[in-house]
């Protein structure tokens, strides 16, 4: 009788059906699916340095006709700045007990039913979590702002609420910080229930000292203060409206590194306002197709403007990841308007997708860093009768042209205008 080896059996089945486990892109990871990963850039262990041209050549000389051998002004060299991008790590650990592992080792079908499902959920959960960081990492208002507190529950303000950010997050932990980022965090609390309809989060214990205006982030994504020591990458909201130092370049000194924002004045987002925002970007050199990301409520209000849609020649298209978008044309390209449940209801953002990438040492994978593919996927849990496995990535979001991105603020989908 052959000796039963659980680990090798599990690893063998894992790679036999590898594609079925790691390929699914959750519907809510729309931006992650559109932004390519550039591997190898940080594998030597240091920051990635990118030379960014921040000013043109100058020193032009003007002269009239018949000026002869006129004097020439000295040249003014173009300037570059050193953009520095570092990876932020995100890891999710799972486990399976010996009994389930033994059953899963008996056949490919058993593996899919017992272990494969856990691995698939692990992949989907990680991509949903990272999607939220790609949008709101290092942003001033984090994942949302507290509107009111009736401990152990709180209500998130409607403008700062993104429904799919919170759906299915029971049992996960949230850190709460005072607004402004100068004070220590209030504490860490575990979600016991979520009511999407009322924007209410209920926690397992009382919300000590939490008040209206406080900031919510995922537990462990910052240090003692927020945003003092971020442990997560800068997200779209921070980059698109950047006015300060980002990736080691100060937008106050180099205007090409500044993002853009457009205040909607507590009104619905209309195609007229979108065109105004596009005009801002066109003035800064935008040329090409863009995506307008908005909440599903904003998408619905824009979709009712049928006359405007016809005027701009819009059509409904199907994107590669399955989302439906309203598409219309502006002066130098097309705009795809995509509703996304992770976009806060008071905001929308225009991205020129070709200018974004995810840079890092490893894309999300069950591969152990430093080891060959297929080595040590499962290992014995030291203190428990079971096996552990991990899903890991080390990367950061980078935009090579913040000046071509724009954040809409002050959207009120309930407004009469």
As a whole number of angstroms, the distance between CA 381 and CA 366 comes to 16
365 with 359: CB under 8 angstroms? no
- Inform me whether the pLDDT recorded for 136 exceeds 80: yes
Higher pLDDT, 417 or 261: 261
Q: Residue 4: which pLDDT band, with cuts at 50, 70 and 90?
A: very low
pLDDT at 323: 43
Q: How much is the average pLDDT of 309-331?
A: 55
Mean pLDDT computed over 169-181: 92
The sign of the torsion formed by the CA atoms of 231, 396, 167, 94 equals negative
- Choice among 104-108, 157-161, 307-311 with the minimum mean pLDDT: 307-311
Q: Which residues pair with 398 in a beta bridge?
A: 357
Decide which of 46 and 97 is more confident. Answer: 97
CA distance 122 to 126: 6
Q: What is the pLDDT of residues 14-38, one digit of tens each?
A: 655 544 554 444 567 889 988 888 8
Q: Residue 181 — pLDDT band, cuts 50, 70, 90? A: confident
Residue 2 has pLDDT above 50, yes or no: no
Length of the chain: 417
Position 11 scores a pLDDT of 65
Is residue 80 over pLDDT 90? no
Other CB atoms within a 10 A radius of the CB of residue 337 amount to: 24
On the question of pLDDT at 72 being above 80, the answer is yes
pLDDT at site 302: 83
pLDDT 10s digits, 203-260: 999 999 999 999 999 999 999 998 888 999 999 999 999 999 998 889 999 898 999 9
More confident residue, 83 or 155: 155
Q: Please give the pLDDT value at position 45.
A: 54
The CA distance from 24 to 322, in Å, is: 12
Supply the pLDDT for residue 311: 46
Asked whether residue 143 carries a pLDDT value surpassing 70, the answer given is: yes
Q: Mean pLDDT: which of 197-201, 311-315, 320-324, 411-415 is highest?
A: 197-201
- Find which of 19-28, 299-308, 312-321, 334-343 is predicted with most confidence, using mean pLDDT: 334-343
Residue 114 has pLDDT above 80, yes or no: no
Q: How confident is the model at residue 320 (pLDDT cuts 50, 70, 90)?
A: very low
Q: 258 and 244 in contact (C-beta within 8 Å)?
A: no
Look up residue 264 and give its two tokens: 């909607």
Q: What is the mean pLDDT of the chain?
A: 84
Residue 83, pLDDT > 70, answer yes
Q: Please, what is the Cα angle at 357 between 363 and 258, to 5 degrees?
A: 140
Residue 146 has pLDDT above 50, yes or no: yes
pLDDT of residue 346: 98
pLDDT in tens, 361-376: 888 888 877 776 656 6
Average confidence (pLDDT) over 121-145: 93
Using CA atoms, how far apart are residues 274 and 329, in angstroms rounded to an integer?
Answer: 11
Q: 66: left (phi > 0), else alpha (psi -120 to 50), else beta?
A: left
* Res. 193: pLDDT tops 60: yes
């Amino acid at each position: 009788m052959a000796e039963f080896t659980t680990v090798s059996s599990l690893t063998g089945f894992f790679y036999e059906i590898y594609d079925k486990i790691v390929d699914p892109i959750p519907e809510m990871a729309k931006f992650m699916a559109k932004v390519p990963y550039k591997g190898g850039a940080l594998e030597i262990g240091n920051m990635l340095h990118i030379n960014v041209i921040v000013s043109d050549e100058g020193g032009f000389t003007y002269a009239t006709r018949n000026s002869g051998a006129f004097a020439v002004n000295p040249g003014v060299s173009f300037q570059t700045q050193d953009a520095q991008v570092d990876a932020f790590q995100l890891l999710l650990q799972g486990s399976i007990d010996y009994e389930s592992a033994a059953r899963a080792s008996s056949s490919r079908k058993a593996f899919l039913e017992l272990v494969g499902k856990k691995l698939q959920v692990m992949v989907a959960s990680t991509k949903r979590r990272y999607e939220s960081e790609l949008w709101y990492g290092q942003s001033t208002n984090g994942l949302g702002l507290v509107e009111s507190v009736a401990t152990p529950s709180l209500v998130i303000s409607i403008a700062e609420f993104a429904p799919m950010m919170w759906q299915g997050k029971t049992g996960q932990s949230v850190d709460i910080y005072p607004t402004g980022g100068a004070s220590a965090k209030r504490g860490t609390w575990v979600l016991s229930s979520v009511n999407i309809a009322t924007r209410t989060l209920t926690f397992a214990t009382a919300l000590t000292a939490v008040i209206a205006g406080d900031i919510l982030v995922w537990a462990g994504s910052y240090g003692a203060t927020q945003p003092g020591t971020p442990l997560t990458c800068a997200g779209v909201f921070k980059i698109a409206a950047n006015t300060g130092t980002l990736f080691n370049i100060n937008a106050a000194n180099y205007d090409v590194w500044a993002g853009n924002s457009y205040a909607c004045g507590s009104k619905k987002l209309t195609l007229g306002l979108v065109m105004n925002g596009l005009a801002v970007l066109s003035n800064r050199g935008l040329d090409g197709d863009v995506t307008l990301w908005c909440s599903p409520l904003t998408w619905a209000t824009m979709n009712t403007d049928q006359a405007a849609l016809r005027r701009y020649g819009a059509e409904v298209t199907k994107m590669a990841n399955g989302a439906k978008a309203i598409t219309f044309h502006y002066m130098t390209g097309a705009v795809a308007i995509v509703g996304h449940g992770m976009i806060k209801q008071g905001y929308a953002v225009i991205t020129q997708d070709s200018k974004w990438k995810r840079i890092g040492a490893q894309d999300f994978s069950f591969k152990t860093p430093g080891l060959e593919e297929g080595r040590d996927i499962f290992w014995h849990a030291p203190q428990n009768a079971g096996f552990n496995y991990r899903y890991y990535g080390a990367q950061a979001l980078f935009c090579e042209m913040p000046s071509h991105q724009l954040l809409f603020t002050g959207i009120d989908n309930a407004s009469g205008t």
